[in-house]
Chain A
């Protein structure tokens, strides 16, 4: 079956048709098609679903394999050798050039190593095709640590997008939201601390902090912080709640494939009682507004 063929009409099931999805101009700002061992073959397979679900652009979060601690370690694939890294880097550069009309990339930095992180930003953003950075959960320090200041300062200079993985896993003794998070896993409260130090720098609080009810409250007062929902189960009315607390202009959408389905992630936005204009902001408009200066710098102006 072709990616654009459907056995039945989705429009008859209270869903947007593929054409309507296309018209929403959806940008998947959390694309893991290059993550793990799948590489380019996985990316090519993922494009079937990107096409099928009418996604206009994906932002890969896995360009460059991160700084040194991002690879290897318990439970992770072994760190690549230098020739392997160089070969993979070249493939990704070629991908970002070849598919620049639908694929963009950001790189993983690690505030445990601020100098190396900034060097990566120079290589991949200042002198390369990437448009921003991602904070993961690896390393030894959270995004609120002073180590982050040179990284955010450079991001401001470059007009780079900033995505911060956050998740408050319940746990610990006594059990509290966030008490079960990994050592360097930031919480929305960490994002708020960072955002207050850089009030003129927009940044995205990823995964809605896991617990969106508490996450939105933590960043509510920081108007330079945006809120993204991918990578967790779909909860009815979570986007309604966030729009009510933060405004539709501060919500960003991500798909988190291939580990999450577009069905899961799109349902969060289409469950919400939004005007078409606001839904378009959530599904791509807000990110485009933030990223427009960077795209202009790259010689690729975009319509917001």
Chain B
């Protein structure tokens, strides 16, 4: 089985994909600022992390909430690129300021590995301008929505319009599920429930939009109820939505949802197609180790690991059209 060495990966993924997706100015900004280490003799592929967040979690300080510390931590785990949202997006109303700070932080302290994913709240006035700025001003490849916090239901026509517009622009739309386990929410926090039936309908209505359901596993796989079960199956079987591994839970769960011959057998939650599963850590809220170790807990083959580590994310990123 052929694997990709560090130099090939950096050249092939970070530079080529970034250059293909963005104007030359950002490709330069996104290029590694520091000299690159020598190629790895063992040729283990590096990882694209599709979900980290910068700045401060509203409810406590996190060990790696300093961007440079986070970047160093990601590098220790062989993560060469990370798609970064902002914790400020959860509660701030000045979304434009949130996105500008995110873009600047990625540029200034991201070590050439952070790709900013700004946010848009379709429940608020003139969100279209925020979307435009994300792409035209900040050269972001996509946006990240936090529907639980942003109080815009999937049934809202503005949500559907945002999906359409982002898709027309060739932008990736990341939709964050639960940011935190509800059992331990701060008591003052009252988040809106997510209607998976409405989400499934909205996704089906915008088939050209590349959607990644970020940190979404409990909603997709565990929540009960016949209606949501049908919605889950619709999302899995009738849309092209991407999923990630940060909230897949249970022994050997990654292999079990992939249909690998696991001792515990197939996951009760059903199968997911390999080509739609991305690596994501949810750092710095989650330990980076959790998702990296999840790759190894299942007896995956090299092609399977490579697809999750970077191949699928590279393909998704490449699909984001040049602005």
A residues near B180, Cβ cutoff 8 Å: 233
Tally chain A residues at the interface, Cβ within 8 Å. Answer: 54
State the CA gap A187–B77 with chains docked (Å): 36
A residues near B249, Cβ cutoff 8 Å: 259-261, 264
Q: Chain B 236-249, CB within 8 Å of chain A: the 1/0 string?
A: 00000000000111
Q: Chain A 265-289, CB within 8 Å of chain B: the 1/0 string?
A: 0111011000000000000000000
B residues near A213, Cβ cutoff 8 Å: 60
User: Which residues, 58 to 97 on B, are CB-close (under 8 Å) to A?
Assistant: 60, 62-64, 76-78
Listed by A's residue number, 17 A-B pairs whose Cβ atoms lie within 8 Å are A10-B296, A13-B78, A14-B78, A14-B288, A14-B292, A15-B296, A46-B263, A53-B297, A167-B183, A180-B183, A232-B183, A234-B290, A236-B286, A262-B293, A263-B290, A270-B287, A271-B290
B293 touches A12 (CB 8 A): no
Question: Interface segment, A1-9, A115-123, A158-166?
Answer: A1-9
Interface check B313, CB cutoff 8 A: no
Q: Is the interface of B mostly helix, strand, loop or mixed?
A: loop
B183 touches A261 (CB 8 A): no
Quote the shortest CB–CB distance from B45 to chain A (angstroms). Answer: 8
B296 touches A48 (CB 8 A): no
B78 touches A12 (CB 8 A): yes
Tally chain B residues at the interface, Cβ within 8 Å. Answer: 56
User: Which residues, 268 to 323 on B, are CB-close (under 8 Å) to A?
Assistant: 283-297, 299-302, 304-305
Interface check B125, CB cutoff 8 A: no
Whether A236 touches B297, Cβ cut-off 8 Å, given contacts A12-B78, A46-B251, is: no
Whether A233 touches B264, Cβ cut-off 8 Å, given contacts A13-B77, A49-B252, A261-B294, is: no
Interface check B253, CB cutoff 8 A: yes
B299 touches A3 (CB 8 A): yes
Interface check A52, CB cutoff 8 A: yes
Interface check B40, CB cutoff 8 A: yes
| Selected contact of A170 from candidates B187, B253, B295, B300, CB within 8 Å | B187
B residues near A49, Cβ cutoff 8 Å: 251-252, 263-264, 297
Quote the shortest CB–CB distance from B80 to chain A (angstroms). Answer: 12
B184 touches A210 (CB 8 A): yes
